[in-house]
Each structure stands twice: as structure tokens, then as C-alpha cells.
Amino acid sequence: MIYKESDHVRLSEDESAVVFLDQSALPLKREFIETDDLKRMYDAIYLLEVRGAPCIGIFAGYCTFVRARALAQKFGQDKNSWLEELSKETKYLNSSRPTAVNLSYAIDRMMKKASSLTGEDVPVEGIVSALRDEAVKIHEEDISMCLKIAEYGLSLIKDGFGILTHCNAGPLATSRYGTALGPILLGHERGVILRVFADETRPLLQGARLTSYELDQAGVDVTLICDNMASMVMKQGKIDCCFVGCDRVAANGDTANKIGTSQVAIMAKHYGIPFYVLGPVSSIDINCKSGDDIVIEERDPDEIRSKFYANPMAPASVKCYNPAFDVTDHELISAIITDRGILYPPFTESIGSIL
């Protein structure tokens, strides 16, 4: 069996709302939430109920359509007022997670479609229909991209490999096979024997709650480890390569991913282990020259102090620093595996060649 999720973000049956699987409740509870409310959409992203850069992009596409449909009922055929209000709403939605480029990519794509048709002899309902098609296309493209990434990534691993993962970049974070987990799931489907060591990924435990859940459901040999055990399993020779996802890739190859990714890359470099970043071309921000230009989101200190604990594990008065992401220097990355091929250093050249 392979664990594939392609409907954890979708439109409701009457297409008036977005339906999403609350990832923050996994693995204890599998709960779908339906909403047409802009604030609730914002919260779904901010609270990590919808998470994973590609998944956020898919969600944003559907949210834009749902809000466009609702605003059409309010403004009728007043296209300029409709577009102005939709622009305000999508800017608000875009502010929910500043680091993941897929969010802004999907919203920009939807708004460009809306703007291109507003000046033409197309009624508002016709533009809304076009936005629905565009949102579906974003979703379908992601499914196709994930399969291509999985195929390219699978070419780099062999039967019996031990693979270290960090955070979650499987089907839940994207669609179908996922990005970083794609080669593992596809390989397992084809009978390749793999052993996965999944970092728990503090402080939100995406590795423990989501990656181990997905791989276990698929029947993959997965071992959960604490983040500070990664060096030990590398030293013991249990790791042949590292697979991680990405939220934003700069033009020089610097990559923003879940906090802790950079230290995994540093350790992999020390032990001579290949460190691979996997993600769609849409995660590459050609306008971002280096990792220094990537905005790093800082989150609620209570995620460190008390989240997932029955009682707080630190004094209420203690200061906490809680960046959600870090940036892995391009010199630590062996290759970036995309839906258009495997990119090798120097990344300024290989990224430029596909863009």
C-alpha cells in the first residue's frame, strides 16, 4: 500500500467553500474543516492547519476562487470594485506566512488571471469561472510535479539505502507523493527496500506527527529519532543521504526550510553524506538573490514553552526565540531536485538554465 493524499485540500461539493484536513490534529484525529470565511482561511495557514509550501499554494488558489465567488454576489457586475476588494483580501491572506514562496506565487497567479480578464468583455461570473479553472490547474500541476520530482529523486537512491528526513514534505504537505518523501514512497511502491530515519522536528513535531504517520501508513520502514540524534545515526553509518523539502530557494541555491534543516546539512557535510533539497520550480524565487533576502517568520514563544506538553516545560517569564525556518547555505547542498530535473552546483548557472 502507498499512502497518497490528493484530496486533503479541495472545494466543497457546491464549490462555495474550501475543505481542508486539519494537519495540526494529526495523527490523533483526522478532521476536515469547511470554510468560506477569509479570517478562517488566514488562520488555517497561520495555525499550520494547512501547511507545507505547495499545499499552502493549492489552498490559496482555492481560497481566492471561493472569495472571488462570494464577492461577485456582493458587487454584481461592478468589476473594478470586485477586483479591488479581491486584491485587498488576497494581500491579507498572503501575509499569513511570509517565508513560503508558493503562497505568493499562487495568489499572484490567480490575481493576474483576474486582472487580465477584468478589462475584457467578460462578465464577473465568467472571470470567477476562469479562476476556478486556474485553481484546479494549480492543484493538478502540483500532482504532476510531485511525480516528476519523485522520479528524479529515485534515480539517486539504491536498494537498502538509509535516508534521513527533517520536517514533513510528503503528500500532506503537497499532493500525492510529496516532494522530499516522493522518491521514498515511489520507491517503496516499486519494491525498493529503504530505511528512513525521521527527525521529530521540534518544536511543532511535523516529523513525529506527520512524516512518521505517512510512512507508517504506507508500510515504509521508518524510525523516529529526536532532532539531536541525527549526528549519531550519521556517525553509525545508518544514513546514505538526506532528503528535505523547501519553502523558498534563492537564485544562488540558498534554501529556506523548517528550522533545524541547516544543522542537518552541516552534519551531513561533516560525514560526507549527500544532502538533497527537493521541491517544485515554483519554490525557486529568482528575484531573491541569496538567503540573506529571505524573510524568516518568527512564531509564538508558547510553541517552545508549552505546546504538546501537559504542563509548561519552562518558566512563564523566560524569553524564547522561535524562528520557524532557517536558511541552508548553497555550499552545503549536493543537488536540488525539481520537476524539471536535478540541479547541481553552481546553482546560479543550473537554476538560471531552467528559468
Q: Give the single-character DSSP code of 5.
A: B
3-class secondary structure, 61: helix
The residue annotated as part of the active site, out of 142, 247, 254, 326, is: 247
Concatenated DSSP letters of 217-263: HHT-EEEEE-GGGHHHHHHTT--SEEEE--SEEETTS-EEEETTHHH
Q: How far apart are CA 325 and CA 318, in angstroms?
A: 21
The residues with which 163 forms a beta bridge, in sequence order, are: 196, 241
First to last CA, the chain: 36
- Is 247 among the residues known to form the active site? yes
Q: How far apart are CA 144 and CA 161, in angstroms?
A: 25
Half-sphere exposure of 243 (CA within 13 A, CB side): 33
Q: How far apart are CA 149 and CA 53, in angstroms?
A: 15
Q: How far apart are CA 52 and CA 55, in angstroms?
A: 5
3-class secondary structure, 179: coil
Q: How far apart are CA 132 and CA 141, in angstroms?
A: 14
Concatenated DSSP letters of 269-327: HHHT--EEEE--GGGEETT--SGGGSPPPB--THHHHTTT-SS-SS-TTS----BSEEE
Q: Name every residue whose Cβ is closer than 8 Å to that of residue 286 and which is 6 or more positions away in sequence.
A: 251, 351, 355
Q: Where are the beta strands (DSSP E) in 138-238?
A: 162-165, 195-199, 221-225
Active site residues: 247
